[in-house]
Every structure is written in C-alpha cells, then in structure tokens.
Copies of this chain bind each other. A is one copy, B any other.
C-alpha cells in the first residue's frame, strides 16, 4: 500500500479513536469532496438500475456523446469514438500508463497515485520539480534535463502526467509554463496525460485555462471524472479523451480495460451521461460547490498564514499546501512526516505530509484538505452549500479557530520543550 494511503488510513483510525474518546479532531487528510449527491442524479441512478448487461468496453454511446459535449462546451473538439469510460479516472490513468508502457515523469509534488501506479508496473517514477508557486506541471527545463539523463542511461521515457488545477498544491500552472512544458514534451516525444479532475472547481472560471491540447493537441490525453465537481467519488465513474493522432493508444487502452475491468457500471454510466450533459441544476450545484470550496480553503489559508506558514494562494479544488519552513525551529521537527504525526498524535489534526506526494522528506510541507469540514450530516453540508457565509457557520468557524489554536499551542509548547531540553 502506498505511503499516502497508509498515512490516510492511519490518520482516519487515529481520528476515529479520538472521536470515541470525546477528544477534538480535525479531519484534513482525505481528498473527498464532502457534499451530498444531487437529488436529480440520485433519481437518474435509480431509473438506470435495470441496466444489468455488460455494455461496450469503452462506455455506452450515450455517455461518450455526453462527455464529448462537456468538452465541446470547454472549447475542445471531442470525438465520442476517442473517449473511453472507466470506473473512476484512477483506473483510466493506470490503464493509460500500462497501454503506453515505458518510463513515466511525474511532477514533484503530485497526487500520490501517479507514482504508485508507475511502481505497480514495476518502474520507478521520474520525479521532476514544479516551478515555484505553480503546481501540477514539471518545470520545462528540468523536464528536458531529467528525460535526457534517463534516456542516456538507457531507460525509455514515454509520458508525463500533469494536474490542472493541482492536487496537492491547489494551484494552477501558468499558460506560459504549460506552453513551454508542451514544447519540451514534443521535442522529447512524450505523451502528456492531463488529469483535469479539478477543472470545474477552478475558483475563477474566467481564468485562461491552460489546457495542454492548446499547445500539443497531437499528444495530449485528458482524464476527468465526477468525483470532485459533483462529489460522486463513491460512484466510480471517469472518462478519458484521446487525440486522433493516438487512436492506436485508444484501442490499446480499450484492450487493457477489457482485461482489467470489462466495462463500467451500466446504471452509473447512464446517470453520468445525464450529469455530463450539464442540465441547469447540475451547473448550479457545481457552481455552489466551487464557491464553498473557495471560501473555506481561503479562510483556512488565512489561518495558516497567520500561524506563520507560507501558503501558495489556492486557485481551485479544496486543498492547501502550507510550508512551515519558517517555523522549523519553534516546531522542533525535521520532516513533514514528523510534523504530520505530531499534529495527529497531540491534537487530532489529520493531514498528509508532503513526502507522501513525492516532496523532499525534510521540506516541512503538508497537504491540507478542507472539504470534510462542511459538516457531519447532510443537513449541515447542504446548509454550508447555500450559506452566504459558510466560514461563519458554527461548525466551520470552530474548525478554523481550532486550527489557529493548535498552531499557537504547538509553536509555544515546542519552544518551551526545547528551552527545557537545552537549558
């Protein structure tokens, strides 16, 4: 099991234990959207329950047509025949890596599963640093250098994975960076897999979204899903869009899909086709979710900043990636894993260490997910979704205050301890 998943499970277990003891907890580890299913989508799934037949490996024509429409509305010509559905975008990513074969470049830091899936294939991921302040995309010059080095050592490199907007940093790479990354990918003949699962949760939807298809349409594969924008992670549905120039890869991906998962749940596909068609209530729900994520992520970012951390301004999704370097001395820890463990053991604050995302162990960065603060019941969560001031709701305000308290106490107590030790 990967470091990150073990860490998440350990955090969840420790939090459950503290809850049972009546101790305070702050669940900031797990990347779940934390919102109820939209009622019209519930009804759609119920209506589709009679679909018991296997259906096409690549997904039903309805779903693929709806997903093509979804991409069309985002300025991307998409051919339903070049779309492949899967039980989540995670299996699609794995299927793509397997179908492409060869070495995989992943940004440092990046979502835990890119590296873990690469290792499942028996390879070591090639980590390349992201430019300062921009997550999800490798620095173009560093990409060139790393791939050249690998190839010089006789190791094939065939693709890179990018995340727009990014998990864990909550940021979006600049168009200029994406353009230069795409140029490097073309020079190096790398396929670009662009994970855009957080795209609809980019806070400013008027931002110039730097889709790699703009610069390297011939080599860009896009994956997305309904897990984040519509909080349907548990339904397990994702789609991949391949370029015409890679229709052979589309067939290989379908081949891998047929041998690993056969087809995607028929009822879920039918409900997903409805969602990808974006009727008004779906658009509205995504917009409300985006506002809520933005408000709470920004409010939490302020608390971390006030506590002395440097926090890249969150631009999408529901993650923060604060850096505690300036607090290294008062905190008295050497690694992000130690910091995460300290927060969990002493305060019941569940976060993930940056090292789980491939970051250097000694970098004091943490991934903080703010989406499980919206409430413990669906009623609270729906209230948060429609509130003009969600950060002011008692249960969310309490979580924000608790965060400030914890860091005040942590830096103070760590100082005292150190004084005691060194006195």
Contacts and interface: CB of A to CB of B under 8 A. Distances in A.
Contact of A262 (B53, B236, B263): B236
A32 interface: yes
Contacts of A263: 234, 236
A94 interface: yes
A42 interface: yes
Query: How many copies of this chain are found per oligomer?
Result: 2
A413 interface: no
B258 A2 contact: yes
A46 interface: yes
A36 B53 CA distance: 8
Contacts of A37: 49-52
A280 interface: no
Contacts of A5: 57, 255, 258-259
A260 B49 contact: no
A94 B52 contact: no
Interface string A197-231: 00000000000000000000000000000000011
B90 A261 contact: yes
Contacts of A266: 234-235
A393 to B, nearest CB: 21
A151 to B, nearest CB: 21
A131 interface: no
Contacts of A32: 53-54
Given A45-B46, A91-B91, 9 more contacts: A5-B258, A35-B52, A43-B49, A51-B234, A52-B234, A87-B236, A87-B261, A236-B263, A236-B264
9 contacts: A1-B255, A36-B52, A52-B230, A54-B233, A90-B259, A113-B259, A234-B263, A234-B266, A236-B261
A-B complex: 4 closest residue pairs judged by Cβ atoms:
A46-B46, A1-B255, A234-B266, A45-B49
